[in-house]
Chain A
Amino acid sequence: MKRTQREIEESTRQITRRGLIVGGLFVGTGGILAGRMRYLQVERADDFRLLAEENRINLRLLPPARGLIFDRNGVLLAGNEQNYRITIVREDAGDVDAVLDEVAQLVNLDLVSLERARQEIRNRPSFVPVTIADRLSWEELSAVAVNAPALPGVNPEVGLSRVYPLGADFSHVVGYVGPVSDWYLEQTGDTDPVLQIPDFQVGRYNVEDKTEGLLRGRAGTSRVEVNASGRIMRELDRDPATPGSDVQLTVDAGLQNYVEARMHGESAGAVIMDCTNGDVLAVASAPTFDPNLFVRGISTTQWTGLNEDPYRPLANKATQGLYPPGSTYKMVVALAALEGGFISPEETVACPGHMEIGNRRFHCWRRGGHGRMNMLESISQSCDVYYYELAQRVGIENISAMARRLGCGMRHDLPLSGIAEGLAPTMEWKRRRFDQDWVVGDTLNASIGQGFVLSSPLHLAVMTARLASGKTLIPNLIRSVDGVPEARPEPEDLGVNPDHIALIHQGMWRVNNHSRGTAYRSRVMGDEYSIAGKTGTSQVRNITAAERAAGVIRNADLPWERRDHALYVGFAPYDNPRYATAVIVEHGGGGSVAAAPIGRDILLRAQVGDVPPSDLYPVSQRRGIEEMHRTLPIFEAPPQPSGRTPDRGGQDA
């Protein structure tokens, strides 16, 4: 419409006035915005920079590879294997149940672990990966990887997991690893950050546990830049994990396998040592169990089975079990008597089958008695009355002092779990323990390794090794760490008259090689591998006077758990002792029948270095021995040393 000039000017004036107001508002608002920018970007820049760093940088712990465990020849006893597993991230998966159903089509998922995974998925933050299946085969992992587009949020991953290639043979030496439990953290007070790594495993038993500090290594860290959903964008820097040290043990895998196999079917324990340097060559306990079960997570059924087995597969009878050593203790008494000059080797003691002390009658194992016995005969025929006589002359303090010199009644510091201390009793001990005075009957019982005396096969093996070598051998199990040989103190001389040692040797030789020796059945043909030993039979029950009158019940007629323990200690070769062993067969009956053959076979295996040929056995036993060696679960071939040679210190003789 037409406007007058006055109107136009009024309109323009008004627009100019109001336009300047609006423009001023624009600029003013711009100023406020700029001020806010300055506040956020300049004054509070540091705060926000920090928040941005917290947003994007995540510190991830890198698990160290656990140190390997080898035998003395470099055979791998505990290694690490690739463990394929699949994880799921809830927020990436969307419909978790649908995705889990898809996964279940591809891999074998048992209901229990699936339910556990579901629960964990619910409880953890939505961006945290949760393991849904573990220890998959390569085929299963590939199936998941190929179907990845149909499985949102599911990731195949690779980790390291402990594996024991020789399985059950070494569970009583190497032990096993297990997950880090709250209980473990509480017990050890261990605050190593490495324990926070999901699925990290720590040593729980035997060498794995006792050398945890060597094997574990140190966690590395990786600073990674992550995005909002926690996915790693790139690695900023990395401090690699330090792998654990490799531990080489003194045990011999082939020998250990043979000993476990030889005791198969029994409830037994055995130790064999090198009596030149104290190396423990085998620590075996039967029955045994597969340590891999514990790594993978043992089922309740399997656990109950192992725990309730009357043969106690979980216990290491060789080092944890304490038994009355029986007649294997007689060398201690004999040596104490010789050293103290309480008897001469030629002096004889009459054995009528029993001895009366006060109003108590102490019996010899042979009801009719042995007749006149000198020291050599007393050892080879294991006459109890001879030692009752010695006990009264020598006294318990001298006997127990000699026992401790020979390594009994003390703790041997090996990296094994629950090592038993043993007991070489003294008068003072009894007073403290029972508030009772020591009586001469106690000494008599002790002199034949009964009563208060307690030893494990490890003690008896050390005792035999010291008797065989005349040196204070200290048992040791670690040969080298990362190829650096462990320092071993040079064994000192026992400080015993060599003639007396020689006499004991002769007595022990007769046990196996004299026709009246208690282990004559377990003799070795030929001189090259000749062995010397001592049998023992220790009662686990009291024989009442009434039973004795009616005739002692034979072991075979007793229920298993009331039969006598059978023991054998021995060394070989006789001329130049190299190996010493101690064997116990729980409730095996007589030592000469149940334990001595095992001891003989072990000593032969150690000397020959392979399954002993049957011509070393008495002719009548050869067929049985061949049959046994065929059926025992022995390695097809001696295990080959693994490619990695741990021993940079060179092999010693």
Chain B
Amino acid sequence: MSFLEYNVKSTPTGWQKILHLNWALAMLLVSVACVGFLMLYSVAGGSFSPWAETQMQRFAIGFLAMIIVALVPIWFWRNMSVLAYIISLLLLVYVEFFGSTFGGAQRWIDLGFMRLQPSEVAKITVVMMLAAYYDWLDLEKVSNPLYVAIPLLIIGIPVALTFIQPDLGTSLLMLMGGGAVIFMAGVHWLYFATVIGLAVGTVTAVFTSRGTSWALLADYQYSRIDTFLDPTRDPLGEGYHITQSQIALGSGGWTGRGFMQGTQIRGDFLPESHTDFIFPTLAEEFGFVGAASLLLLYVLILVFCIATALMARDRYASLMVVGVATTFFLYFAVNMAMVMGLVPVVGVPLPLVSYGGSAMLVLMVGFGLVQSAHVHRAR
């Protein structure tokens, strides 16, 4: 269904739209962000600089961006999807050649006021592109192999570009986020069974290839896998992150050690505690109660997104919202699973909490799209 079929008269117009935003969702996002400010303040040893203050400014910008995006009708965004996707591909190609290097990976463009990670942008644009594609595609053709190959290509190009940066975590997240949209679009389940089968085969191949001339992963990625399988193998080296992270988590107990009292953080035992490993900080200082509360906030955000998707009655809006929700879900689920030792350390931030500009801005724009779908839903 297209914008022409909207009952425009019953849709709010102008600034009235602001009142029709999903304010419950907005407040949940603010709550999560506030948890982030609190933890960044704590990690900095009780100081707004260098992280909490910047993070607040970025969230303010992100929140504003979300409202602006929300006020623009959803059909506009659908029409912009292809353009956005192409721009993000160009940015990915650009960082491949001119990007700033950190930790052995070319990941961002220095814009001066912030560092833009094109791979973060691509997570959303891939979702937008796929949603637009399935909105355009005849329903009968959805499971046609030819029309299944096209979305695979749409996903495959940015995933490949991200993978060679190299950024395994983001490329996997992008792959799974796109996969969720394809699944939502109603592609026959046999395709998914095949993909899962292939994935298992690939994992086998990856492990068999180890140490041979055709090794599929970089050494540091292999060692991350090894360490994941047995973190105690090298507690001061490869397994240090995950061991210290679990100690921080576990020592929190039921109610935690109290705000600013986490010894793992105070003593610098936990590296990257302001970015990827911020969740153990929260868990150490606020315990199971605090950690589970944050998880609950995240799940509530997802519930609102799914509800929006189901109520939209617009194929583009529904698919796009589920795609954004899945991306968001993958962020926090992978991050939490990572710091709790359930999956390898892949370098995924905790959404809206970890210090970082690109991911937050991109997610807020994504939630702006969700809000736009909510505001401009069929009534």
The smallest beta-carbon distance between B163 and chain A, in angstroms, is 24
Residues of A within 8 A of B1 (CB): 3, 8
- Asked if B295 and A41 make an inter-chain contact with CB atoms under 8 angstroms apart, the answer reads no
| The residue from B253, B325, B333 contacting A41, defined by CB atoms under 8 A apart | B253
B318 adjacent to chain A (CB < 8 Å): yes
B379 adjacent to chain A (CB < 8 Å): no
What separation, in Å, do the CA atoms of A34 and B298 have in the docked complex?
12
**16 A-B pairs, CB-CB below 8 angstroms?**
A1-B2, A22-B183, A23-B302, A26-B306, A34-B292, A37-B249, A38-B292, A41-B249, A41-B250, A48-B251, A49-B253, A51-B247, A51-B250, A52-B248, A52-B263, A227-B266
What separation, in Å, do the CA atoms of A220 and B269 have in the docked complex?
27
Answer whether A22 and B264 are a contact pair too, CB < 8 Å, given A12-B313, A45-B250, A45-B253.
Answer: no
Stretch from A13-21, A418-426, A472-480 forming part of the interface with B: A13-21
Residues of A within 8 A of B249 (CB): 37, 40-41, 48
Stretch from B16-24, B85-93, B334-342 forming part of the interface with A: B334-342
Chain A positions 31 through 67: 1 when the CB is less than 8 Å from some CB of chain B, otherwise 0: 0111011101110110111011101100000000000
A136 adjacent to chain B (CB < 8 Å): no
Stretch from B94-102, B109-117, B283-291 forming part of the interface with A: B283-291
Give B328-366 interface residues, CB cut-off 8 Å to A.
329, 333, 336-337, 340, 342
- Asked if B288 and A227 make an inter-chain contact with CB atoms under 8 angstroms apart, the answer reads no
What separation, in Å, do the CA atoms of A233 and B251 have in the docked complex?
19
The smallest beta-carbon distance between B242 and chain A, in angstroms, is 12
Answer whether A19 and B318 are a contact pair too, CB < 8 Å, given A26-B329, A55-B263.
Answer: yes
| The residue from B136, B251, B298, B340 contacting A52, defined by CB atoms under 8 A apart | B251
**What is the interface of chain B mostly: helix, strand, loop, or mixed?**
helix
- Asked if A8 and B326 make an inter-chain contact with CB atoms under 8 angstroms apart, the answer reads no
A113 adjacent to chain B (CB < 8 Å): no
B30 adjacent to chain A (CB < 8 Å): no
- Asked if B306 and A40 make an inter-chain contact with CB atoms under 8 angstroms apart, the answer reads no
- Asked if B263 and A15 make an inter-chain contact with CB atoms under 8 angstroms apart, the answer reads no
Q: Considering the complex, give the chain A residue whose CB is closest to the CB of B134.
A: A11
Residues of B within 8 A of A36 (CB): 337, 340, 342
Residues of B within 8 A of A7 (CB): 139
Give B282-332 interface residues, CB cut-off 8 Å to A.
283, 287-288, 291-292, 295, 298-299, 302-303, 306, 309-310, 313, 315, 318-319, 322, 325-326, 329
- Asked if B247 and A55 make an inter-chain contact with CB atoms under 8 angstroms apart, the answer reads yes
What separation, in Å, do the CA atoms of A576 and B302 have in the docked complex?
108
Residues of A within 8 A of B315 (CB): 11, 15
Residues of A within 8 A of B340 (CB): 33, 36-37, 40
- Asked if A37 and B292 make an inter-chain contact with CB atoms under 8 angstroms apart, the answer reads yes
| The residue from B139, B250, B268 contacting A47, defined by CB atoms under 8 A apart | B250
What separation, in Å, do the CA atoms of A582 and B84 have in the docked complex?
108
- Asked if B252 and A41 make an inter-chain contact with CB atoms under 8 angstroms apart, the answer reads yes
- Asked if B333 and A19 make an inter-chain contact with CB atoms under 8 angstroms apart, the answer reads no
Answer whether A44 and B250 are a contact pair too, CB < 8 Å, given A15-B315, A55-B263, A227-B269.
Answer: yes
The smallest beta-carbon distance between B48 and chain A, in angstroms, is 21
The smallest beta-carbon distance between B4 and chain A, in angstroms, is 9
**What is the interface of chain A mostly: helix, strand, loop, or mixed?**
helix
15 additional A-B pairs beyond A3-B1, A40-B340, beta carbons within 8 Å, are A1-B2, A8-B313, A12-B318, A14-B186, A19-B184, A26-B299, A29-B333, A30-B333, A33-B295, A37-B249, A38-B292, A41-B250, A41-B252, A45-B252, A56-B266
Q: Which interface residue of B254, B283, B315 has the most chain A CB atoms within 10 A?
A: B315
B38 adjacent to chain A (CB < 8 Å): no
Chain A positions 162 through 183: 1 when the CB is less than 8 Å from some CB of chain B, otherwise 0: 0000000000000000000000
A197 adjacent to chain B (CB < 8 Å): no
Query: A-contacting residues of B (Cβ < 8 Å)?
Result: 1-2, 136, 139, 180, 183-184, 186, 244, 246-254, 263-264, 266-269, 283, 287-288, 291-292, 295, 298-299, 302-303, 306, 309-310, 313, 315, 318-319, 322, 325-326, 329, 333, 336-337, 340, 342
Residues of A within 8 A of B326 (CB): 22
| The residue from A19, A21, A34, A49 contacting B310, defined by CB atoms under 8 A apart | A19
Residues of B within 8 A of A2 (CB): 2
Answer whether A233 and B342 are a contact pair too, CB < 8 Å, given A15-B310, A23-B303.
Answer: no
7 shortest interchain CB distances as A-B pairs: A48-B250, A52-B251, A227-B267, A45-B253, A41-B288, A23-B306, A48-B251
Residues of B within 8 A of A384 (CB): none
What separation, in Å, do the CA atoms of A433 and B306 have in the docked complex?
107
The smallest beta-carbon distance between A354 and chain B, in angstroms, is 87
Q: Considering the complex, give the chain B residue whose CB is closest to the CB of A13.
A: B186
The smallest beta-carbon distance between A212 and chain B, in angstroms, is 38
Q: Considering the complex, give the chain A residue whose CB is closest to the CB of B243.
A: A51
Residues of A within 8 A of B251 (CB): 45, 48-49, 51-52
- Asked if A29 and B329 make an inter-chain contact with CB atoms under 8 angstroms apart, the answer reads yes
| The residue from A11, A12, A45, A225 contacting B267, defined by CB atoms under 8 A apart | A225
What separation, in Å, do the CA atoms of A162 and B247 have in the docked complex?
44
- Asked if A26 and B302 make an inter-chain contact with CB atoms under 8 angstroms apart, the answer reads yes
A558 adjacent to chain B (CB < 8 Å): no
A487 adjacent to chain B (CB < 8 Å): no
- Asked if B288 and A56 make an inter-chain contact with CB atoms under 8 angstroms apart, the answer reads no
Residues of B within 8 A of A29 (CB): 329, 333
- Asked if A1 and B292 make an inter-chain contact with CB atoms under 8 angstroms apart, the answer reads no
What separation, in Å, do the CA atoms of A53 and B251 have in the docked complex?
9
Q: Considering the complex, give the chain A residue whose CB is closest to the CB of B187.
A: A18
| The residue from B180, B250, B269, B322 contacting A56, defined by CB atoms under 8 A apart | B269
- Asked if A18 and B184 make an inter-chain contact with CB atoms under 8 angstroms apart, the answer reads yes
- Asked if B288 and A38 make an inter-chain contact with CB atoms under 8 angstroms apart, the answer reads yes
Residues of A within 8 A of B266 (CB): 56, 225, 227, 233
- Asked if A41 and B287 make an inter-chain contact with CB atoms under 8 angstroms apart, the answer reads yes
What separation, in Å, do the CA atoms of A14 and B184 have in the docked complex?
8
What separation, in Å, do the CA atoms of A150 and B268 have in the docked complex?
24
A486 adjacent to chain B (CB < 8 Å): no
What separation, in Å, do the CA atoms of A16 and B268 have in the docked complex?
47
The smallest beta-carbon distance between A53 and chain B, in angstroms, is 8
- Asked if A227 and B186 make an inter-chain contact with CB atoms under 8 angstroms apart, the answer reads no
